[in-house]
Chain A
C-alpha cells in the first residue's frame, strides 16, 4: 500500500490493483471484464471459469483490507453480451450477496456499451458516461479535462523494466499524469497494455503484495 497526495486529496494505491480514497471510504478499480472466460468458451476457446473467481477474490481482498463502503468500477465491468443462463451471473450474484452492505457504483466502459446493463438485482448505481465527486471525475477513458482531475481505466496500463542484459520484466502499473490517474486492470484474464510516460509522469508498479514507485523515466513510442 502506497500513499500519495493528488488533486487535493489523499489516496492509497494497493498492490491488488485498486485505489482507495480514505475520506470517501471508497475503493476504485477498473476493467473487471466479467464474462470474458465464458465469451471465449462459447467461441470454442477453453478458458477456465476460475479466472472469474480470481477477479472476485482480488476484490474481496481489496475490500477487506480497506474496509471500503463503496466500490466503484471504472468501466468494462462486463466483457461482452451474455445470455441469462450464463454461469457468470450466478457467481456475481453470490458474490454480491456476501457484500450486501456495499454500495456499488459502475461507470460504463466501451465493452459495457455492447454488453448491456447488468441485472438490476445486483443493485448497482450505474452511470452511462461519468460520475463526479468533490470535483474529481470518475470515468472509463483516461482523458485530460480542463478543470477537473480524472480517475480512469481502459488502457490496462503496464510497464516493462529491463534488467541487466535487457531482460524484460512486465508488470501492471498505476499511471499518474498531471491530472489523470489511470488504474491497472483488476480482471484476472485481461492482460496489460504499455504506458509511455514522460518525465513529468509518475509510475507505480504492482507486485503481488507491494506497490513501488519508479524514478521519473521517459519511454518514447
Chain B
C-alpha cells in the first residue's frame, strides 16, 4: 500500500476511511458494493485495490518489466485517444481489470481518471476504451490483445463475449468494477450485466466484483443482485454522507397568471436568467430533451448576448459536440449548460457552482444526485434552485423539500427473468464458442435475475432459439442455433453477423442520424418524428433551427433554416413518474392546505390556486377521493384524483375503463398524470357513487387487469422492446443502410402473428408480465386500490375545469383507450366526426379567423 499512500501524500490528499476499507477487502479477496455520493473518491477506492495488488506482486517478482522504461510523458488533462499510456501495448501487463459503465459518454472520462495514478506511479498498464464509439481498428487490435484495464458498457461486454477467443483473453481477469450500478439496476441492461458477470465468474471463480452506487433505498438488494445468486459474503461499504443540500425555489411573482399545466412557464425565464447570472457556472437540468431545446431557446431570446456563453447537452446530440461542451464546461467556459440526465452521472465538473432543476425531479434520489453536481469545494453546500414549469410543481417542490429533510430515498426494483434478454444472451454465448445445455443452465441460474428460472422456461427459450417456438409446434426451416455433438452453435455466419449488429438491449428503435449537407453529424433523432415532416419543414435541434432537406439511408440531411422558429422534436424517452414517497408527501401537503396550513414558501405561493380549487370544486383530504365531472363539446369528462403517480394511475385508469366498457358498447379514452385520471367517453356517461364503488372494487382485480392488458395497447407497446431484444426486429443502425429489406417487419406484425398463431409464446407472456409488474406496478396498484375502496368518495359537478383537472384536460398524449364498440359503429362515428371537423374548419377559414389558440 506504501506507493499508493505516497501518491496520496504527493497530491496532498488523505485516503478516506472507506477507501482504506475497500483496499483491505480487495486484498482479502472480497467483493462488494461501495455507495457514496458523487465526488467522494469512489473511483479510487475500487481502482487502487487492483493497482496495489499488482505493485505487491511486481515487487516479489524478478524485474521482468522494467519500470524505468516508462517515461512520465506530459499528458494534457483530457486526451481523447483510446489509449494514453506510454507503455507499448504488447509489453503492458496483461488484461486484469474490466470496468463497466452505463454511459458511453462517461467512459472517456473514466479512462482519464483511471490513468492519472497509472501515470504518476509509472506502472506499465494500459487503460483503454471499448464502446460503440471506438473505431473498428482499435476494436480489432483489442480482440488480438486486451489492455490491462478495459473500460466498456454492458452492450460492448456482451459483444466481446460473442467472440470465441475471449475466453482465453479473459483468463487473466482479476476484477470487474461496475460503475453507477444504481443506473443499471432495474433495467434490462442491468440484467445483461448480470448475465455477463455470471459468465466471467464461471471462467474465473476467484473473480472479485465491485460495484459503485449512489444511495438507494435497497442497497443490500442492489449488492446481492450484482454478486449473483447465492453469493452472500459481499460487503456493503458506505462512503461519506452527502453534504447538506440547500433547496430554493423560484416563485412566480403572479401565480394567477402562471400556467396550470405545460412545460415552459415563460414567466420565470427572466428570474431564471438572473439566477444564472448570479453564479459562475450553472448546470440546468430538465426532465426531457425537448425541454432542453425549448429552454435553451428561451434563455437565448431573453439574453441574446449569451449565445456564446450557454450550451446545451442531451443524449441525442452528436458525440463530438457533447465532448466539446463537456471540455469547455470543465474549463469553466460556460455560464450555463442546459442538459438532461446526460450530465447527472459520473464526472464532476469542478466549476459548477449552482444546479437548477427545471420542473419536478419526481423523486428524491434524482434530486439528491443532481444537487450533488454542484459545490465541489471542500465544505461547500450543494445548492439547487428549483424552477416550476406549471403551478402544481410548486407543491412537488414543497414535497421534495420535505423528502430531502427525511432522506427517504427510493428503491430500485431489480428485474426478474426477462426472457428476451436471455434469448439474446443464448445466441451471444453460442457465437462465442458454443455451449453445452446443462452447464449453461447452471451458469444462467447463478445470475440473480434468473435464479428461479424454471425448467420449462429454460426449455422454451432453448426451443425458441433452435426451433422458433415450443417443441410441439413446427417452425419449418427455422434455424438460429443448431445442436452439434452436444454443443449449441449459431447456424450461419450471416445470423452471427446480424446478431452482433443487434446486441444491446436499449439501442433505441428507429433512430436516425441528423447530418448537414457536408456530412457533419449533429446527432440523432427519432424516425417517428422525422416521418411526420415534409422536406422543407423546419425543426429545432441542438439549439439551432434546421430545415429538412431529404431523408436517405436512415439519415436526415438538413441545412440551417432561414426561419427563426421550428417544431421542437419529441423524443420518446419515458417520463419519470412521481415516486411513492413524493406522492404521499403531496397528499399530506394538500391535506394541510385544506385546513389553511401552508408550510414553506412554495406552499404559501400556491395558496391562491388551492383556494380556487376549493371554491370551484374541493381540496381532498387524505382519506377521501375527489371525483369531478364536467361536460364539454368533446363529451363527458370524469376526473379522479388518487395522487398515486403516473404509473399507478395508468393501471387504475385502464382498469376503470375496462370495467365500464363491459357494461355497454362504448369507447373510453384515458389520460393520466401524476395527480389523477381522466376518463372521456364517446357517448354520455353518468356515474353515481355506487357505480364508482363497483369500479374501485378489489374483487377480480388480477383477472380484470389481465383482460385489460390483453385488450389495450399496453402489451403491444411493451412488446416493441422485447421483439428487438429477442432479435425479431432487425433494427438498422443510424447511418447504415437498413438491414436486408426483405427482413423488415414491425414488432406490431409479430405481435399480431403470435397472438393469432402462437399464443403460448413466452415472449408474449413476458410482455404482459412486464406491463403488470413494471409498467403498472401491480403491487403499488393493489395498495392504491385498497385505499380507494376504503376512502370516502366526493363527487363534484364542476362548471369549469378546476385547477387540478385542467392539466389532465390539456394533456396531449392520450395514454390509451378501451373499447367495446363494434368496429363498424366506431368507424362510422369517427367518420361523422371527421366530416363535422372538416365543415367547421371550412367555416372558420371562411370567416378569416385563426383557429389556433395561443398556448404557453
Which residues of A come within 8 Å of B, CB atoms? Answer: 36, 38-51, 54, 79-80, 86-87, 111, 114, 161-167, 169, 171, 188-191, 205, 207-208, 210, 212, 214-217, 220-221
Q: Complex Cα distance A111/B757, Å?
A: 25
Check B366 for interface membership: any CB of A closer than 8 A. Answer: no
Q: Which residue of A has the minimal Cβ distance to B670? A: A165
Whether A79 touches B753, Cβ cut-off 8 Å, given contacts A164-B635, A214-B831, is: no
**B814–A44 contact, CB under 8 A?**
no
Chain A residues positioned under 8 Å from B671 (CB to CB): 165
**B834–A217 contact, CB under 8 A?**
yes
Q: Complex Cα distance A163/B832, Å?
A: 11
Partner of B680, one of A48, A164, A171: A164
Q: Complex Cα distance A188/B757, Å?
A: 11
Chain B residues positioned under 8 Å from A79 (CB to CB): 742
Check B826 for interface membership: any CB of A closer than 8 A. Answer: yes
With both chains docked as a complex, state the minimum distance between the C-beta of A13 and any C-beta of chain B, in angstroms: 14
Chain B residues positioned under 8 Å from A54 (CB to CB): 756-757
Chain A residues positioned under 8 Å from B464 (CB to CB): 46
**A207–B830 contact, CB under 8 A?**
no
With both chains docked as a complex, state the minimum distance between the C-beta of B490 and any C-beta of chain A, in angstroms: 8
Check B698 for interface membership: any CB of A closer than 8 A. Answer: no
Check B571 for interface membership: any CB of A closer than 8 A. Answer: no
**B748–A191 contact, CB under 8 A?**
yes
Chain A residues positioned under 8 Å from B844 (CB to CB): none
Chain A residues positioned under 8 Å from B834 (CB to CB): 161, 214-215, 217
- A45-B728, A164-B680, A220-B534 are known contacts; what are 18 more A-B pairs with Cβ within 8 Å? A38-B476, A40-B745, A43-B498, A45-B727, A45-B730, A48-B473, A48-B475, A48-B757, A49-B474, A50-B753, A51-B753, A163-B667, A165-B671, A165-B814, A169-B826, A191-B745, A208-B823, A210-B823
- Kindly name the residue among B634, B635, B756 whose own CB sees the greatest number of chain A CB atoms within 10 A: B756
Chain B residues positioned under 8 Å from A188 (CB to CB): 753
Partner of B835, one of A41, A50, A212, A215: A215
Give the 7 A-B CB pairs with smallest separation, nearest first.
A46-B468, A44-B480, A165-B669, A50-B757, A48-B757, A41-B478, A207-B823
Partner of A164, one of B479, B480, B634: B634
Partner of A165, one of B680, B727, B831: B680
Q: Complex Cα distance A182/B838, Å?
A: 25
Q: Complex Cα distance A44/B499, Å?
A: 10
**B743–A45 contact, CB under 8 A?**
yes
Contact indicator per residue, chain B 833-856, by CB within 8 Å of chain A (1) or not (0):
111001000000000000000000
Contact indicator per residue, chain B 737-759, by CB within 8 Å of chain A (1) or not (0):
00010110110111001101110
Q: Complex Cα distance A50/B759, Å?
A: 12
Chain B residues positioned under 8 Å from A165 (CB to CB): 634, 669, 671, 680, 814, 817
Chain B residues positioned under 8 Å from A47 (CB to CB): 468, 745, 750, 753
Q: Which residue of A has the minimal Cβ distance to B812? A: A166
With both chains docked as a complex, state the minimum distance between the C-beta of B795 and any C-beta of chain A, in angstroms: 22
Interface residues on B, range: 35 or more
- Kindly name the residue among B667, B757, B834 whose own CB sees the greatest number of chain A CB atoms within 10 A: B757
**A41–B680 contact, CB under 8 A?**
no
- Kindly name the residue among A38, A54, A164, A215 whose own CB sees the greatest number of chain B CB atoms within 10 A: A164
Which residues of B come within 8 Å of A, CB atoms? Answer: 464, 468-469, 473-480, 491-492, 494-495, 498-499, 534, 634-635, 667, 669, 671, 680, 682, 727-728, 730, 740, 742-743, 745-746, 748-750, 753-754, 756-758, 812, 814, 816-817, 823-824, 826-828, 830-831, 833-835, 838
Partner of A163, one of B669, B727, B756, B757: B669
Q: Complex Cα distance A216/B830, Å?
A: 13
Q: Which residue of A has the minimal Cβ distance to B537? A: A221
**B824–A207 contact, CB under 8 A?**
yes
Chain A residues positioned under 8 Å from B494 (CB to CB): 43
With both chains docked as a complex, state the minimum distance between the C-beta of A88 and any C-beta of chain B, in angstroms: 9
Whether A87 touches B835, Cβ cut-off 8 Å, given contacts A45-B727, A207-B827, is: no
**A164–B757 contact, CB under 8 A?**
no
Chain A residues positioned under 8 Å from B475 (CB to CB): 41, 46, 48-49
Q: Which residue of B has the minimal Cβ distance to A188? A: B753
Chain B residues positioned under 8 Å from A41 (CB to CB): 468, 475-479
Chain A residues positioned under 8 Å from B750 (CB to CB): 47
With both chains docked as a complex, state the minimum distance between the C-beta of B175 and any C-beta of chain A, in angstroms: 36
Q: Which residue of A has the minimal Cβ distance to B671? A: A165
Chain A residues positioned under 8 Å from B491 (CB to CB): 44
Q: Complex Cα distance A188/B750, Å?
A: 11
**A46–B469 contact, CB under 8 A?**
yes
Q: Which residue of A has the minimal Cβ distance to B758? A: A48
Partner of B838, one of A166, A190, A217: A217
**A111–B742 contact, CB under 8 A?**
yes
Chain A residues positioned under 8 Å from B480 (CB to CB): 44-46
Q: Complex Cα distance A81/B478, Å?
A: 16
- Kindly name the residue among B473, B474, B480, B749 whose own CB sees the greatest number of chain A CB atoms within 10 A: B749
Whether A44 touches B477, Cβ cut-off 8 Å, given contacts A39-B743, A163-B830, A164-B669, is: no
With both chains docked as a complex, state the minimum distance between the C-beta of B717 and any C-beta of chain A, in angstroms: 12
Q: Which residue of A has the minimal Cβ distance to B635? A: A164
- Kindly name the residue among B473, B754, B824 whose own CB sees the greatest number of chain A CB atoms within 10 A: B824
Partner of B534, one of A111, A212, A221: A221
